[in-house]
Amino acid sequence: MNELKSMTLPELTESLWAMGEPAFRGKQVFTWLHKGIQSYDEMGNVPKGLREKLAEAYPLAVPKAVRKQVSRLDGTVKYLWELADGNCVESVLMRYRHGNTVCVSTQVGCRMGCAFCASTIAGKVRDLTPAEILDQVIFTQLDSGEAVSNIVLMGIGEPLDNLDAVLRFLELVNHPEGLNIGMRHISLSTCGLIPGIRRLGEAELQLTLSVSLHAPDSETRSKIMPVNRAYDVEELFDACHSYFQKTGRRISFEYAMINGVNDHDWQADLIAQKLRGMPSHVNLIPLNNVAESPLKPSKRLAAFQKRLESHGLTATVRRSLGGDIDASCGQLRRKALEEAQKGEDSQ
């Protein structure tokens, strides 16, 4: 691994040890990296000779905010970060009364193909490294000057399609010598990669698992989420029940309401039937219009919520933030890509 910031503290200590450094150096460097230094020269208590050796052996990459949009409606901030290789990903800072939440990306693009999602339109370019996921939190915090207390892995990409990096990121961001953000303040959202859900369950983390359900019946779900053809919703519900048995953690189900597709009462009834016996929370999301998609927002949010509640389920309607700044998944990156494309075409 030639990325110091992706290393756990023991790994970092060992790498420095191999360079002839004392054990305490690992902790010093770890702390600096997690503070978001732009250059190794900022590490005041680390000898100059070592700083130079590190710069040579492990070039330090920091993301550059190439675009930043601030919502006039609610102060939501959207960042488009350029990574060392020129690829871009998005993060969103959302301000709530209970603290600041940052939504981070886990991949450049996405290969899951959900019909309503802007992130997946051009497919997946590559996975992010643990450091690149972590940097989104560090640099959002630095840029905004405000502490981040919660993290949601709900940006571009499918976290369980890059699970090794994501698990490492979780360990890093949770570390007391780093940002020290508690697992209970972290949510991970998946479109339903069952082997990943199982692995995550084995890890018995205290984070909140969010499952992008979007339809409780195979037929509808396969139409809007190709992943359902590989991992059917029936198996997904089973995996969720097992996850709860293993971790004791309540699962959150995301449900983007699409007009005439998944907003029928019988679908609410089916959700209730499938979730019986499992503490859960259904989060109804007003569908964000994506220019490339024919799917339209449902007008039945309140009725659907009532129907779910009539079965004793907890259902909430997600408050939409940043409506004026392309704040939903992948929209800003798409816009930037399109503009770059137009620029090239006109040359």
Give catalytic residues, as residue numbers: 90, 329
Q: Does residue number 288 form part of the binding site for ligand SAH (CB under 6 A)?
A: yes
- Which among 145, 20, 72 is positioned nearest to 323, based on CA atoms? 72
Q: What six digits make up the tokens of 258?
A: 């699409």
Residue 295 · residue 286 · CB < 8 Å: no
Q: Does residue number 194 form part of the binding site for ligand SAH (CB under 6 A)?
A: no
**Residues 267-286 within binding reach of ligand SAH (CB under 6 A):** 285
* Sole binder of ligand SAH in the list 191, 193, 200, 207 (CB under 6 A): 191
- Residue 256 backbone dihedrals phi, psi, to 5 degrees: -80, 120
Give whichever of 140 and 328 is closer to ligand SAH, judged by the CB atom: 328
Q: Does residue number 328 form part of the binding site for ligand SAH (CB under 6 A)?
A: yes
Please give the Cα distance from 37 to 51 (Å, whole number). 12
Question: What are the angstrom distances between the C-alpha of 91 and each of 96, 131, 229?
Answer: 16, 14, 29
Residue 140 · residue 102 · CB < 8 Å: yes
How far is CA 218 from its chain centroid?
Answer: 25
**Residues 93-132 within binding reach of ligand SAH (CB under 6 A):** 114, 116-117
Number of residues binding to ligand SAH, judged by CB under 6 A: 17
* Sole binder of ligand SAH in the list 181, 186, 290, 301 (CB under 6 A): 290
Please give the Cα distance from 215 to 15 (Å, whole number). 48
Give whichever of 172 and 193 is closer to ligand SAH, judged by the CB atom: 193
* Sole binder of ligand SAH in the list 21, 90, 158, 326 (CB under 6 A): 158
Q: Which residues pair with 79 in a beta bridge?
A: 68, 91
Residue 87 beta carbon to ligand SAH: minimum distance, rounded to whole angstroms: 17
Give whichever of 28 and 328 is closer to ligand SAH, judged by the CB atom: 328
Per-residue buried b or exposed e for 12-30, using 16+ beta carbons within 10 Å of the residue's own CB: bbebbeeeebeeebbebbb
Give whichever of 138 and 329 is closer to ligand SAH, judged by the CB atom: 329
Residue 156 · residue 110 · CB < 8 Å: yes
Q: Does residue number 298 form part of the binding site for ligand SAH (CB under 6 A)?
A: no
Give whichever of 272 and 329 is closer to ligand SAH, judged by the CB atom: 329
Q: Does residue number 329 form part of the binding site for ligand SAH (CB under 6 A)?
A: yes
Please give the Cα distance from 314 to 159 (Å, whole number). 25
Residues constituting the chain: 347
Q: Does residue number 190 form part of the binding site for ligand SAH (CB under 6 A)?
A: yes
Q: Does residue number 287 form part of the binding site for ligand SAH (CB under 6 A)?
A: yes
Residue 28 beta carbon to ligand SAH: minimum distance, rounded to whole angstroms: 35
| CA-CA-CA-CA torsion sign (142, 146, 150, 152) | negative
Give whichever of 100 and 120 is closer to ligand SAH, judged by the CB atom: 120
How far is CA 318 from its chain centroid?
Answer: 17
Question: What are the angstrom distances between the C-alpha of 34 and each of 61, 76, 78?
Answer: 13, 24, 21
Q: Does residue number 6 form part of the binding site for ligand SAH (CB under 6 A)?
A: no
Residue 316 beta carbon to ligand SAH: minimum distance, rounded to whole angstroms: 14
* Sole binder of ligand SAH in the list 189, 208, 252, 298 (CB under 6 A): 189
* Sole binder of ligand SAH in the list 15, 100, 141, 212 (CB under 6 A): 212
Residues within the interface to ligand SAH (CB under 6 A): 114, 116-117, 154, 158, 189-191, 212, 254, 256, 285, 287-288, 290, 328-329
